[in-house]
Amino acid sequence: MASAKDKPVKPTVAEAAPAPAATTWAQLAKKNIKQTQPSAAGTGTANYTLSFHVPLIQPRGMLNSNNTCYMNAILQPLAHCPPFYNLFNTIGQRVAFSFNSETPLVESMVMFVKEFQELAAIKELDPFTPEYVYETLRQLKKFDSLRGRQEDADEFLGSLLDTLHEEFDQARRKHQEAMEKQQNGTKSGRHEADGDDTWLEVGKKQKTCQTRTMDMNESPISRMFWGKIRSVVKRPGSRDSATLEPFRSLHLDISSPHIHSVEDALLQLAAIEELDISTSTHAHENQLQDLPPMLVLHIKRFHYDPELGTQKLRRRIAYEMMAPSRRDKPPTYLLVGVVYHHGQYTAGGHYTCDVRRQDGQWIRINDTVIEPISESDVCVGAATPSSSMGAAEVPSLVHGQGEWDGWSRTTEGDAYLLFYMDASLYT
């Protein structure tokens, strides 16, 4: 371990309003980024408009304290993610803290973004350890394993976003119940919950499809990162069935030797797959129904081999600064962050990241070490499909310039998570 590092709703791009009197941030949680105008949520509420514009902040390294590089490599892109930074910065400006609250992770994120100051305010900041974040996570059952051992960065990101979403949703429900009790003189018996709904859709040639949706309550976090994927099963002579499920990242299988790029993996995700079920041939297809403002792609480099156990796929996978990159279509998503995994094993590897700053410049962060890089250092082309070479023999592509060098893949990182942002929202 190294010791040093529904279609997206377009929110209003606006500067934060002057901070009103302090209130409970649970009232803010009721408002999400779908709203384009500030609205009230009861007595003493604050105006809240989420902005996708943030000032240029001073990069700051984070100490690797007891195998925390996988957390550092996730927290850094989130700190430089405009809607994420703005959300918690706004809460910190407008809401009084209560560290005995039922939303400890939200409050630790407020403290975390406060560590990053505007560039004009200070020239340089020392590396720091967000111990309050780590300590909060250790107290939560979902993060029981965070006790001095290396973990998977994708799993950590998922658990972090899930917990933040749950805390926002819990606060919204409590505030709603309190308002109903105040207005009606009694507590409402209604209780919102995530659930399922089923209906019939009529498609081409009047063919019906039984569609089931897995509903989920909304929060500012889900509005940023959650999309919907439509999974369709087609049966000859029978009605198709479809399931709409939320996703917070797309998991891209790269195990096939024909996958050389993220685009290849996405096409494979959407490809029709034939299934043999009880002598009847079914077809299964995935369709991306809705994409979020912040799209996270997980390149699945680890797979289980019955004889060898968990193995890492270290082939180079191409990805683009703009997606899609086809010249006949306008760009949709802009790459704003990359998390790399170094080494062969999850438990013994190291994580670093590249992030795009608010001025469009890229930096590489390895715990406490921060260095400026170019776009060509971030994006790499696909490997030549020559490969009968073993993982340890595959040379690395340095700086994305197409030149091979003698470094092994044990020292060069492999792209593991890609953070994309809806380009129409980037300011």
What is the residue-wise DSSP string for 55-70? PPBPP--B---SS-HH
Number of other CB atoms surrounding residue 355 within 10 Å: 24
- Asked if 216 and 246 count as a contact pair (C-beta separation under 8 A), the reply is yes
CA 80/CA 158 separation, integer angstroms: 18
Give me the residue label for tokens 């984070």: 62
CA 196/CA 413 separation, integer angstroms: 41
Letter string b/e over residues 290-310, b meaning 16 or more CB atoms within 10 A of that residue's CB? bbbbbbbbbbebeeeeeeeee
Q: 190 exposed, middle or buried (CB, 10 Å; 0-12, 13-18, 19+)?
A: exposed
Residue 303 is a catalytic residue: no
CA 80/CA 354 separation, integer angstroms: 10
Q: Which of 80, 165, 342, 350 is catalytic?
A: 350
- Asked if 105 and 162 count as a contact pair (C-beta separation under 8 A), the reply is no
User: 243 - beta bridge partners?
Assistant: 212, 231
- Asked if 381 and 392 count as a contact pair (C-beta separation under 8 A), the reply is no
Identify which of 90, 24, 107 has the alpha carbon closest to the alpha carbon of residue 51: 90
Calculated CA dihedral for residues 185, 187, 193, 196, nearest 10 degrees: -70
DSSP annotation of 386 reads: -
Residue 314 corresponds to which tokens in the numbers above? Answer: 């270290």
What is the residue-wise DSSP string for 29-87? HT--TT-SS----STT-------S--PPBPP--B---SS-HHHHHHHHHHHT-HHHHHH
Residue 353 is a catalytic residue: no
CA 325/CA 333 separation, integer angstroms: 9
Tell me how far the alpha carbon of residue 375 is from its chain's centroid: 21
Q: Which residues are catalytic?
A: 69, 350
